[in-house]
Structure 1
């Protein structure tokens, strides 16, 4: 039988969600008889295989491959690709599902615009009212768009998921997934580089389930090792595709950021941390300030480890950890913002709301004030323990600040370790307040320049110095 599209579904112990996933295929407006479904059961130990058999017995377009040992999603996808009989293939993970029109709409656009790669939108699904913030891997499109030169859309290189794409058979040779975690990164890069024409579709949605038991949600030392392997694999492409080195660097800067965040955030043993940094250092090539600035221009809200990334190859692992994790005065992760509430007793530690967050360039925090009555004033401390540059961006009634410059300026400079803003208005009837603020942690050069400016101001004051008691200075 001839199929219009093949869908590869790697499955491991997915009894909880597999029905919803497979039903979203059965209900496709393209018609299940036009869709070749190749399920790879990766040696599941629960009731997954029994559920799969229900579908293979009911629908002739369903096939199943049973792995005798657990191979992982990458190798499972590779096995299934050799069984594909149609000219187009896509992927569906066993705990995800897809909108009913996705495949019919996707193939129609492929035919209309003569493209060999189609990318459609995706949303994170948690099964609750919680809405996952869009991250920089989620480059969704608000309009249908034809791309004939991928270099004009560098952000797409961070769209590494294999499952929100439909691939023409001309790209099949690039769909060779790696072993281990993060097996899909190399496939995404090779597909984007080698696709002649790409279409971004706003009209279909892949629903990615936020599964808190998944490998990507449970960070371990192996997570860092596997992602470092992926970084090296991607960097190795520079020999075959030298014209794409800048784009490869964009993706890997983001992956390096992730690994550094894991190292800084979690409590590892020293040998584990050294192992993680050693592996990362062996997987990268040096970056320049131009590389970092290119990334910052595209993703201004993301990067906060510029110096760390630039200096990574300049230190042995122990020294790097000492400087950038243990003895660095900056609290890089798990920082606190505080809102002090004056209910007639002034600002004190008892009347305070704290939020733990990871400081980004653009931040949005909401403080719950339901437990406070007759609020007179509020004091907002954006970040404690660091010298910062900050700007509150949502027009709150700021009346004063302990910044070094004026609150009337576009941003405030703080060379004290307890920066704060005082807000004064009628807060008597509010139950919460949202504070949007831009934040930049000052680096060593910034701080040195600021204190140098202060010294110059002091030295220029026309004040007659007191006579020194001792003659040590000439």
Structure 2
């Protein structure tokens, strides 16, 4: 059972001068409790973000404001914040999204009551103008999110990036993948599931997810669209012992290696409940024969052998 119930909120901030104030206010005015903390990582913004964050630091001197000296990307900004977090419970809010009033209390209660590692809102309320005008809603199935669905559906709790989780689950998963661009939140959520985190979705809960043509994900997806599936594969390589050989061959094939991720709902990837019996992975080393065999297989497939 978790002994510390306070939350370390964190916001990765990059060139978000038009939206970050609303995000901060949705935490501080309606969801922040005594003992909580807010960590904001300015990932070397080039617009007026720093000026806005400085004003909030003057208003709330207890905010931890960290500035990267170079742009490292969203995954690195999130990991930086968590490394500085004092609390066991963590909540990431992207710098353009907004929390509903009092919404954090219910998901924290749900996490503690179920001794979960992760709790996600069920509804992602997408808006472009204001939170009073919802453009459309994405819905997750409530209750326990099955590990076997990790690569079988397009929308997973981790895909949104805005949810409550434990620091322990972050440590076990190995943090956010920093090489993966805008797949950092998806990749982290998948890693939590595949390292057996207990992931749950609270029914009838929601937050507001802003629609912007210049958003981190859309910008990255457009500029690097041919590499999205390759980056997703790179995230999954350490977990190939939980994926069938048939699906691995499909993901690495010349025909599908650049598009399997985009087609995941039409052609799901199966996750096994248990690791393959013949694949015993050594921790933090490539000396294990099974792991070396899988890596060789990946490289040979990608080289067309």
TM-score normalised according to structure 2 size: 0.71
- Per the alignment, do residues 22 and 197 of structure 1 end up closer, same or farther by CA in structure 2, a change over 3 Å counting? same
Q: Which 5+ residue runs of structure 2 have no aligned equivalent? A: 270-300
In structure 1, what is the Cα distance between the partners aligned to 2:36 and 2:243? 35
In structure 1, what is the Cα distance between the partners aligned to 2:218 and 2:265? 27
Q: How many residues align?
A: 261
- Per the alignment, do residues 64 and 20 of structure 1 end up closer, same or farther by CA in structure 2, a change over 3 Å counting? same
In structure 1, what is the Cα distance between the partners aligned to 2:104 and 2:226? 36
In structure 2, what is the Cα distance between the partners aligned to 1:4 and 1:35? 5
Superposed, which structure 2 residues align to 1:350-369 within 5 Å?
A: none
SS in structure 1 at match of 2:34: helix
Q: Deviations over 1:270-319 (max 9, x none)?
A: xxxxxxx989748979x9xxx997649xxxxxxxxxxxxxxxx9xx9xxx
The answer as to whether partners of 2:194 and 2:239 remain within 8 angstroms in 1 is no
In structure 2, what is the Cα distance between the partners aligned to 1:227 and 1:60? 40
SS in structure 2 at match of 1:211: coil
Report whether the alignment pairs 1:214 with 2:212.
no
SS in structure 1 at match of 2:159: coil
Aligned match of 1:161: 159
Give the drift of 1:111: 1.2
- Per the alignment, do residues 169 and 281 of structure 1 end up closer, same or farther by CA in structure 2, a change over 3 Å counting? closer
Aligned match of 1:12: 14
SS in structure 1 at match of 2:38: strand
Q: Deviations over 1:166-219 (max 9, x none)?
A: 111221222222233322232111111224432211243121110112243347
Aligned match of 1:351: none
Q: Deviations over 1:225-252 (max 9, x none)?
A: 441332221341343xx23449x87xx9
SS in structure 2 at match of 1:111: helix
Q: Deviations over 1:42-75 (max 9, x none)?
A: 1112221121122222224411110111111111
Aligned match of 1:444: none
Mark the structure with the bigger radius of gyration: 1
- Per the alignment, do residues 34 and 161 of structure 1 end up closer, same or farther by CA in structure 2, a change over 3 Å counting? farther
Aligned match of 1:176: 176
Aligned match of 2:140: 140
In structure 2, what is the Cα distance between the partners aligned to 1:217 and 1:40? 21
- Per the alignment, do residues 292 and 208 of structure 1 end up closer, same or farther by CA in structure 2, a change over 3 Å counting? closer
In structure 2, what is the Cα distance between the partners aligned to 1:154 and 1:282? 16
Q: Deviations over 1:417-451 (max 9, x none)?
A: xxxxxxxxxxxxxxxxxxxxxxxxxxxxxxxxxxx
The answer as to whether partners of 1:161 and 1:185 remain within 8 angstroms in 2 is yes
Superposed, which structure 2 residues align to 1:36-55 within 5 Å?
A: 36-55=37-56
